[in-house]
Amino acid sequence: MAGIWIDIDIDAIAANYREVVKLVKPPARCMAVVKADAYGLGSVEVARTLAAEGCEAFAVTTVEEGLILRRHGINGIILVLGPALPQEWALALEEDLHLTVADAGVVFQLEQTCRNMSKKVQIHLKLETGMGRTGFGLQELEGLAELLLKSPHLEVAGVYTHFARAAQRDHEFTQRQYERFGAGVAALAGHGIVPGWKHVCNSGAFLDYPEYHHDFVRVGTLLIGHVPGPGFNDRLTLKDPWAAKTNILYVHRVPKGTHVGYQSIYKTKTETNLALIPAGYADGFGVVPHLVPQGGWDLVKIIIKNIASLFGLTLGKERIELQGRSVRVAGKIGMQLTVLDVGQVNCAPGDEVKIPLRRTLANPRLLRQYWRGGRIYAKRTLTEEGVFLVQAE
Protein backbone atom coordinates (compact mmCIF):
# COMPACT_ATOMS: atom_id res chain seq x y z
CA MET A 1 0.00 0.00 0.00
CA ALA A 2 1.46 3.37 -0.97
CA GLY A 3 0.06 6.26 0.98
CA ILE A 4 -1.22 6.89 4.46
CA TRP A 5 -3.77 4.77 6.26
CA ILE A 6 -5.32 5.23 9.65
CA ASP A 7 -5.88 2.41 12.10
CA ILE A 8 -8.86 3.04 14.35
CA ASP A 9 -9.38 0.91 17.43
CA ILE A 10 -13.15 0.84 17.75
CA ASP A 11 -12.93 -1.02 21.09
CA ALA A 12 -11.12 2.04 22.49
CA ILE A 13 -14.00 4.29 21.44
CA ALA A 14 -16.54 1.96 23.07
CA ALA A 15 -14.42 1.95 26.24
CA ASN A 16 -14.22 5.76 26.24
CA TYR A 17 -18.00 5.94 25.90
CA ARG A 18 -18.44 3.66 28.91
CA GLU A 19 -16.04 5.86 30.92
CA VAL A 20 -18.09 8.95 30.01
CA VAL A 21 -21.41 7.29 30.82
CA LYS A 22 -20.13 6.41 34.31
CA LEU A 23 -19.86 10.15 35.05
CA VAL A 24 -23.16 11.24 33.49
CA LYS A 25 -25.52 12.33 36.22
CA PRO A 26 -29.02 10.85 35.80
CA PRO A 27 -31.45 11.62 34.29
CA ALA A 28 -28.98 13.09 31.79
CA ARG A 29 -27.93 11.03 28.80
CA CYS A 30 -24.94 11.31 26.51
CA MET A 31 -25.45 13.01 23.16
CA ALA A 32 -22.38 11.95 21.20
CA VAL A 33 -20.96 14.79 19.14
CA VAL A 34 -19.80 13.19 15.89
CA LYS A 35 -19.40 16.33 13.79
CA ALA A 36 -16.55 16.74 11.32
CA ASP A 37 -16.64 13.04 10.49
CA ALA A 38 -16.44 12.19 14.20
CA TYR A 39 -13.37 14.42 14.58
CA GLY A 40 -11.78 12.56 11.66
CA LEU A 41 -12.32 9.02 12.90
CA GLY A 42 -15.30 8.35 10.63
CA SER A 43 -18.78 9.33 11.78
CA VAL A 44 -20.56 6.21 10.53
CA GLU A 45 -18.46 3.59 12.31
CA VAL A 46 -18.15 5.72 15.45
CA ALA A 47 -21.92 6.32 15.63
CA ARG A 48 -22.69 2.65 14.95
CA THR A 49 -20.34 1.62 17.74
CA LEU A 50 -21.84 4.10 20.20
CA ALA A 51 -25.39 3.12 19.22
CA ALA A 52 -24.48 -0.52 19.95
CA GLU A 53 -23.26 0.68 23.38
CA GLY A 54 -26.67 2.24 24.00
CA CYS A 55 -26.15 5.82 22.84
CA GLU A 56 -29.48 7.29 21.74
CA ALA A 57 -28.54 10.78 20.58
CA PHE A 58 -25.97 12.28 18.23
CA ALA A 59 -25.00 15.79 17.23
CA VAL A 60 -23.47 17.04 13.98
CA THR A 61 -22.87 20.49 12.51
CA THR A 62 -24.56 20.19 9.12
CA VAL A 63 -27.66 18.61 7.62
CA GLU A 64 -25.42 16.67 5.24
CA GLU A 65 -23.56 15.09 8.17
CA GLY A 66 -26.90 14.10 9.70
CA LEU A 67 -28.12 12.54 6.44
CA ILE A 68 -24.95 10.44 6.18
CA LEU A 69 -25.71 8.96 9.60
CA ARG A 70 -29.39 8.30 8.82
CA ARG A 71 -28.54 6.64 5.53
CA HIS A 72 -26.18 4.33 7.36
CA GLY A 73 -28.84 3.16 9.77
CA ILE A 74 -28.44 5.48 12.76
CA ASN A 75 -31.99 5.70 14.13
CA GLY A 76 -31.49 7.77 17.26
CA ILE A 77 -31.90 11.49 17.73
CA ILE A 78 -29.66 13.46 15.38
CA LEU A 79 -29.36 17.14 16.23
CA VAL A 80 -27.94 19.55 13.64
CA LEU A 81 -26.04 22.15 15.66
CA GLY A 82 -25.32 24.67 12.92
CA PRO A 83 -28.02 26.78 11.29
CA ALA A 84 -29.58 24.88 8.35
CA LEU A 85 -30.36 26.70 5.12
CA PRO A 86 -33.99 26.76 3.87
CA GLN A 87 -33.04 24.62 0.85
CA GLU A 88 -31.90 21.86 3.24
CA TRP A 89 -35.06 21.80 5.39
CA ALA A 90 -37.11 19.36 3.28
CA LEU A 91 -34.39 16.69 3.39
CA ALA A 92 -33.81 17.24 7.08
CA LEU A 93 -37.55 16.89 7.76
CA GLU A 94 -37.84 13.71 5.72
CA GLU A 95 -35.08 12.12 7.77
CA ASP A 96 -36.44 13.45 11.09
CA LEU A 97 -33.33 15.40 11.97
CA HIS A 98 -33.65 17.76 14.91
CA LEU A 99 -32.86 21.32 13.86
CA THR A 100 -31.29 24.16 15.80
CA VAL A 101 -33.23 27.40 15.65
CA ALA A 102 -31.11 30.43 16.48
CA ASP A 103 -32.93 33.15 14.57
CA ALA A 104 -36.58 34.21 14.87
CA GLY A 105 -36.55 35.15 11.18
CA VAL A 106 -36.70 31.49 10.12
CA VAL A 107 -39.59 30.42 12.37
CA PHE A 108 -42.41 31.52 10.08
CA GLN A 109 -40.84 30.05 6.93
CA LEU A 110 -39.95 26.75 8.67
CA GLU A 111 -43.55 26.46 9.87
CA GLN A 112 -44.74 26.95 6.25
CA THR A 113 -42.38 24.25 4.98
CA CYS A 114 -43.60 21.82 7.63
CA ARG A 115 -47.23 22.59 6.85
CA ASN A 116 -46.64 21.97 3.13
CA MET A 117 -45.02 18.64 3.93
CA SER A 118 -47.57 17.80 6.66
CA LYS A 119 -44.71 17.10 8.97
CA LYS A 120 -43.68 18.28 12.40
CA VAL A 121 -40.09 19.18 13.20
CA GLN A 122 -38.28 18.87 16.49
CA ILE A 123 -36.36 22.06 17.15
CA HIS A 124 -33.77 23.04 19.74
CA LEU A 125 -33.53 26.73 20.60
CA LYS A 126 -29.98 28.00 20.84
CA LEU A 127 -29.42 30.71 23.43
CA GLU A 128 -26.49 33.10 23.07
CA THR A 129 -24.76 33.42 26.43
CA GLY A 130 -21.15 34.31 25.64
CA MET A 131 -19.85 32.33 22.67
CA GLY A 132 -20.94 35.13 20.36
CA ARG A 133 -21.61 32.97 17.33
CA THR A 134 -25.29 32.13 17.13
CA GLY A 135 -28.35 32.22 19.30
CA PHE A 136 -31.07 34.31 20.91
CA GLY A 137 -30.30 37.08 23.32
CA LEU A 138 -32.54 37.53 26.36
CA GLN A 139 -34.40 40.47 24.85
CA GLU A 140 -35.41 38.46 21.76
CA LEU A 141 -37.17 35.68 23.64
CA GLU A 142 -40.57 37.29 24.08
CA GLY A 143 -40.93 37.83 20.32
CA LEU A 144 -39.64 34.32 19.65
CA ALA A 145 -42.16 32.80 22.05
CA GLU A 146 -45.03 34.65 20.32
CA LEU A 147 -43.95 33.23 16.96
CA LEU A 148 -43.54 29.72 18.33
CA LEU A 149 -47.00 29.73 19.87
CA LYS A 150 -48.35 30.38 16.38
CA SER A 151 -46.30 27.51 14.85
CA PRO A 152 -47.99 24.20 15.66
CA HIS A 153 -45.60 22.19 13.44
CA LEU A 154 -42.55 23.27 15.43
CA GLU A 155 -42.08 21.21 18.58
CA VAL A 156 -39.58 22.69 20.98
CA ALA A 157 -37.67 19.54 21.91
CA GLY A 158 -34.80 21.37 23.51
CA VAL A 159 -33.04 24.54 24.55
CA TYR A 160 -29.28 24.81 24.74
CA THR A 161 -26.19 26.95 24.82
CA HIS A 162 -22.48 26.42 24.22
CA PHE A 163 -19.59 27.32 26.54
CA ALA A 164 -16.67 29.30 25.11
CA ARG A 165 -14.08 28.72 27.84
CA ALA A 166 -14.93 25.43 29.53
CA ALA A 167 -11.79 23.74 28.12
CA GLN A 168 -9.65 26.52 29.66
CA ARG A 169 -11.52 26.01 32.94
CA ASP A 170 -12.44 29.68 33.18
CA HIS A 171 -15.02 29.07 35.89
CA GLU A 172 -16.15 32.65 36.28
CA PHE A 173 -16.95 32.96 32.59
CA THR A 174 -18.64 29.55 32.38
CA GLN A 175 -20.77 30.24 35.42
CA ARG A 176 -21.82 33.60 34.01
CA GLN A 177 -22.84 31.88 30.76
CA TYR A 178 -24.83 29.36 32.76
CA GLU A 179 -26.65 32.11 34.66
CA ARG A 180 -27.61 33.77 31.38
CA PHE A 181 -28.87 30.41 30.14
CA GLY A 182 -31.00 30.01 33.25
CA ALA A 183 -32.43 33.50 32.78
CA GLY A 184 -33.25 32.65 29.14
CA VAL A 185 -35.01 29.41 30.07
CA ALA A 186 -37.04 31.26 32.74
CA ALA A 187 -37.96 33.99 30.27
CA LEU A 188 -39.17 31.42 27.73
CA ALA A 189 -41.26 29.71 30.41
CA GLY A 190 -42.69 33.09 31.39
CA HIS A 191 -43.89 33.49 27.81
CA GLY A 192 -45.38 30.01 27.61
CA ILE A 193 -42.54 28.01 26.02
CA VAL A 194 -41.18 25.08 28.04
CA PRO A 195 -38.71 23.04 26.00
CA GLY A 196 -38.55 19.29 26.58
CA TRP A 197 -34.84 19.10 27.27
CA LYS A 198 -32.05 21.38 28.43
CA HIS A 199 -28.42 20.74 27.49
CA VAL A 200 -25.35 22.89 27.97
CA CYS A 201 -22.24 20.76 28.61
CA ASN A 202 -19.41 20.08 26.19
CA SER A 203 -16.56 17.80 27.36
CA GLY A 204 -14.96 20.39 29.64
CA ALA A 205 -18.15 21.48 31.38
CA PHE A 206 -19.31 17.86 31.59
CA LEU A 207 -16.27 17.04 33.73
CA ASP A 208 -16.31 20.19 35.84
CA TYR A 209 -20.04 20.72 36.39
CA PRO A 210 -22.12 17.62 37.16
CA GLU A 211 -24.86 19.99 38.30
CA TYR A 212 -25.13 21.32 34.72
CA HIS A 213 -25.79 17.93 33.10
CA HIS A 214 -29.60 18.39 32.83
CA ASP A 215 -31.09 16.15 30.11
CA PHE A 216 -28.12 15.67 27.80
CA VAL A 217 -24.39 16.24 27.84
CA ARG A 218 -22.92 16.90 24.39
CA VAL A 219 -19.58 15.13 24.46
CA GLY A 220 -17.17 14.73 21.53
CA THR A 221 -13.52 15.17 22.52
CA LEU A 222 -13.60 12.63 25.36
CA LEU A 223 -15.10 9.92 23.18
CA ILE A 224 -12.23 10.07 20.74
CA GLY A 225 -9.74 9.78 23.58
CA HIS A 226 -8.63 13.30 24.41
CA VAL A 227 -9.24 15.54 27.39
CA PRO A 228 -10.25 19.08 26.40
CA GLY A 229 -7.27 20.72 28.07
CA PRO A 230 -4.75 20.54 30.89
CA GLY A 231 -6.00 19.75 34.39
CA PHE A 232 -8.68 17.22 33.41
CA ASN A 233 -6.39 14.19 33.16
CA ASP A 234 -7.22 12.42 36.41
CA ARG A 235 -10.97 12.39 35.92
CA LEU A 236 -11.26 9.33 33.70
CA THR A 237 -9.16 6.77 31.86
CA LEU A 238 -9.30 7.28 28.11
CA LYS A 239 -7.84 5.16 25.35
CA ASP A 240 -6.37 6.51 22.13
CA PRO A 241 -8.11 4.88 19.17
CA TRP A 242 -6.01 6.62 16.48
CA ALA A 243 -2.81 5.66 14.65
CA ALA A 244 -1.82 7.12 11.27
CA LYS A 245 0.80 5.13 9.37
CA THR A 246 2.65 5.02 6.10
CA ASN A 247 5.44 3.09 4.40
CA ILE A 248 8.89 4.31 3.46
CA LEU A 249 9.15 4.64 -0.32
CA TYR A 250 12.86 5.19 -0.79
CA VAL A 251 16.10 5.36 1.21
CA HIS A 252 19.18 7.19 0.07
CA ARG A 253 22.62 7.69 1.66
CA VAL A 254 23.89 11.28 1.36
CA PRO A 255 27.09 13.10 2.35
CA LYS A 256 27.40 15.80 5.00
CA GLY A 257 26.19 19.19 3.76
CA THR A 258 23.37 17.93 1.52
CA HIS A 259 20.49 20.41 1.14
CA VAL A 260 17.04 18.87 1.41
CA GLY A 261 13.69 20.01 0.05
CA TYR A 262 12.11 23.31 -0.99
CA GLN A 263 13.97 26.48 -0.01
CA SER A 264 16.86 24.24 1.11
CA ILE A 265 16.13 24.99 4.75
CA TYR A 266 17.67 21.70 5.87
CA LYS A 267 21.32 20.75 5.50
CA THR A 268 22.67 17.41 6.73
CA LYS A 269 25.25 17.78 9.51
CA THR A 270 26.94 14.41 8.90
CA GLU A 271 26.83 11.64 6.34
CA THR A 272 23.37 10.16 6.87
CA ASN A 273 20.43 8.25 5.43
CA LEU A 274 17.38 10.08 4.10
CA ALA A 275 14.05 8.27 3.82
CA LEU A 276 11.14 9.46 1.70
CA ILE A 277 7.56 8.96 2.89
CA PRO A 278 4.34 9.53 0.89
CA ALA A 279 2.85 12.02 3.34
CA GLY A 280 2.42 15.76 3.04
CA TYR A 281 0.26 18.71 3.83
CA ALA A 282 -2.36 17.59 1.26
CA ASP A 283 -2.99 14.69 3.67
CA GLY A 284 -3.11 17.03 6.65
CA PHE A 285 0.44 16.13 7.73
CA GLY A 286 2.11 19.11 9.44
CA VAL A 287 -1.05 21.21 9.16
CA VAL A 288 -2.06 23.05 12.33
CA PRO A 289 -5.41 24.59 13.25
CA HIS A 290 -5.80 28.27 13.97
CA LEU A 291 -3.96 28.46 17.28
CA VAL A 292 -4.24 31.61 19.31
CA PRO A 293 -1.74 32.20 22.12
CA GLN A 294 -3.28 31.81 25.55
CA GLY A 295 -1.46 34.54 27.37
CA GLY A 296 1.99 36.11 27.20
CA TRP A 297 4.14 33.05 27.89
CA ASP A 298 2.36 31.07 25.19
CA LEU A 299 3.00 33.92 22.76
CA VAL A 300 6.74 33.90 23.59
CA LYS A 301 6.87 30.14 22.95
CA ILE A 302 5.16 30.52 19.58
CA ILE A 303 7.55 33.30 18.54
CA ILE A 304 10.61 31.28 19.58
CA LYS A 305 9.34 28.24 17.66
CA ASN A 306 8.82 30.31 14.53
CA ILE A 307 12.27 31.89 14.73
CA ALA A 308 13.83 28.46 15.31
CA SER A 309 12.09 27.04 12.25
CA LEU A 310 13.71 29.77 10.13
CA PHE A 311 17.04 28.18 11.02
CA GLY A 312 15.78 24.67 10.30
CA LEU A 313 15.42 23.75 13.97
CA THR A 314 12.39 21.89 15.27
CA LEU A 315 11.80 22.78 18.89
CA GLY A 316 9.37 20.52 20.69
CA LYS A 317 7.95 19.46 17.34
CA GLU A 318 6.47 16.00 17.18
CA ARG A 319 8.96 13.49 15.93
CA ILE A 320 8.38 10.49 13.71
CA GLU A 321 8.52 7.04 15.19
CA LEU A 322 10.62 4.56 13.23
CA GLN A 323 11.71 1.16 14.57
CA GLY A 324 11.07 2.40 18.08
CA ARG A 325 13.43 5.35 17.53
CA SER A 326 12.42 8.90 16.95
CA VAL A 327 13.65 10.57 13.78
CA ARG A 328 13.09 14.05 12.44
CA VAL A 329 11.58 15.60 9.36
CA ALA A 330 14.31 16.99 7.10
CA GLY A 331 13.29 20.31 5.60
CA LYS A 332 9.81 21.40 4.65
CA ILE A 333 6.91 19.01 4.62
CA GLY A 334 5.89 18.80 0.95
CA MET A 335 2.47 18.50 -0.62
CA GLN A 336 2.59 14.69 -0.77
CA LEU A 337 6.22 13.77 -0.12
CA THR A 338 8.35 14.34 2.95
CA VAL A 339 11.96 13.47 3.73
CA LEU A 340 13.09 12.05 7.07
CA ASP A 341 16.67 12.22 8.31
CA VAL A 342 16.87 8.70 9.74
CA GLY A 343 20.57 8.86 10.70
CA GLN A 344 21.88 5.40 11.45
CA VAL A 345 18.45 3.78 11.94
CA ASN A 346 18.35 0.78 9.65
CA CYS A 347 15.37 0.99 7.31
CA ALA A 348 14.25 0.05 3.82
CA PRO A 349 11.42 0.76 1.37
CA GLY A 350 8.19 -0.79 2.64
CA ASP A 351 8.98 -0.29 6.34
CA GLU A 352 6.08 1.03 8.37
CA VAL A 353 6.27 4.50 9.93
CA LYS A 354 3.83 5.98 12.43
CA ILE A 355 3.21 9.66 11.70
CA PRO A 356 1.66 12.38 13.82
CA LEU A 357 -1.52 13.45 12.02
CA ARG A 358 -4.11 15.62 13.71
CA ARG A 359 -7.44 13.80 13.65
CA THR A 360 -9.65 16.64 12.54
CA LEU A 361 -7.14 17.70 9.88
CA ALA A 362 -6.48 14.26 8.37
CA ASN A 363 -7.81 14.24 4.83
CA PRO A 364 -11.12 12.29 4.74
CA ARG A 365 -10.05 10.42 1.59
CA LEU A 366 -7.33 8.58 3.53
CA LEU A 367 -8.13 4.93 4.15
CA ARG A 368 -9.54 4.20 7.62
CA GLN A 369 -9.13 0.63 8.88
CA TYR A 370 -11.38 -0.32 11.78
CA TRP A 371 -10.09 -2.79 14.36
CA ARG A 372 -12.17 -4.81 16.77
CA GLY A 373 -10.94 -7.62 18.98
CA GLY A 374 -7.43 -7.41 17.48
CA ARG A 375 -8.45 -7.67 13.83
CA ILE A 376 -9.62 -5.40 11.02
CA TYR A 377 -13.38 -5.74 10.52
CA ALA A 378 -14.09 -2.89 8.10
CA LYS A 379 -12.38 -0.40 5.83
CA ARG A 380 -13.54 3.00 4.71
CA THR A 381 -12.62 4.73 1.47
CA LEU A 382 -14.15 7.52 -0.60
CA THR A 383 -15.80 6.61 -3.90
CA GLU A 384 -15.19 8.62 -7.09
CA GLU A 385 -18.31 10.63 -6.21
CA GLY A 386 -16.83 11.49 -2.84
CA VAL A 387 -19.23 9.24 -0.94
CA PHE A 388 -18.00 7.28 2.08
CA LEU A 389 -17.80 3.58 1.37
CA VAL A 390 -17.56 1.27 4.38
CA GLN A 391 -16.81 -2.32 3.48
CA ALA A 392 -16.57 -5.27 5.78
CA GLU A 393 -13.32 -7.19 5.58
Enzyme catalytic residues: 35, 262
Question: CA torsion 364→365→367→370, rounded to 10°?
Answer: 40
Residue number with CB closer to ligand PLP (225 or 284)? 225
Site string for ligand PLP, 55-94 (x = CB under 6 A): --------------------------x-------------
| Cβ 131 to ligand PLP shortest distance, Å | 8
Query: What residues numbered 207-226 form the site for ligand PLP, per CB under 6 A?
Result: 218-221
Residue number with CB closer to ligand PLP (98 or 218)? 218
Residue number with CB closer to ligand PLP (31 or 154)? 31
The Cβ-side half-sphere exposure at 384, using a 13 Å CA radius, reads: 0
The 3-state secondary structure of 142-211 reads HHHHHHHHCCCCEEEEEEECCCCCCCCCCHHHHHHHHHHHHHHHHHHHHCCCCCCEEEEECHHHHHHCHH
| Cβ 126 to ligand PLP shortest distance, Å | 8
Question: What gap in Å lies between CA 235 and CA 211, rounded to an integer?
Answer: 16
Furthest-apart CA pair in the chain: how many Å?
A: 79
Q: State the DSSP code for 136.
A: B
Residue from 151, 203, 273, 338 binding ligand PLP (CB under 6 A) = 203
Site string for ligand PLP, 315-344 (x = CB under 6 A): ------------------------------
Contact 377, 14 (CB under 8 A): no
Site string for ligand PLP, 222-261 (x = CB under 6 A): ------x---------------------------------
Return the H-helix or E-strand segment holding 20: helix 10-23
The site that binds ligand PLP (CB under 6 A) totals a number of residues, namely: 12
Residue number with CB closer to ligand PLP (78 or 279)? 78
Task: With contacts defined by CB under 6 A, name the span among 176-184, 199-207, 279-287, 355-363 that binds ligand PLP.
Answer: 199-207
Task: With contacts defined by CB under 6 A, name the span among 43-51, 189-197, 201-209, 244-252 that binds ligand PLP.
Answer: 201-209
The CA angle 71-73-79, to the nearest 5 degrees, is 75
Task: With contacts defined by CB under 6 A, name the span among 20-28, 149-157, 202-210, 332-340 that binds ligand PLP.
Answer: 202-210
Q: Does 162 bind ligand PLP (CB under 6 A)?
A: yes
Smallest Cα–Cα separation from 321: which of 344, 354, 286? Answer: 354
Query: What residues numbered 9-38 form the site for ligand PLP, per CB under 6 A?
Result: 33, 35
Residues counted in the chain: 393
Q: Does 202 bind ligand PLP (CB under 6 A)?
A: yes
Q: Does 40 bind ligand PLP (CB under 6 A)?
A: no
Residue number with CB closer to ligand PLP (170 or 321)? 170
Task: Give every CB contact of residue 207 below 8 A, 6+ residues apart in sequence.
Answer: 23, 222, 227, 228, 232, 235, 236
Smallest Cα–Cα separation from 88: which of 102, 119, 67? Answer: 67
Task: Give every CB contact of residue 300 below 8 A, 6+ residues apart in sequence.
Answer: none
Task: Give every CB contact of residue 99 below 8 A, 6+ residues apart in sequence.
Answer: 79, 80, 84, 89, 92, 110, 121, 122, 123, 124
Q: Does 174 bind ligand PLP (CB under 6 A)?
A: no
Residue number with CB closer to ligand PLP (33 or 274)? 33
| Cβ 199 to ligand PLP shortest distance, Å | 8
Q: Does 366 bind ligand PLP (CB under 6 A)?
A: no
Residue number with CB closer to ligand PLP (241 or 286)? 241
Question: Which positions touch ligand PLP (CB under 6 A)?
Answer: 33, 35, 81, 162, 202-204, 218-221, 228
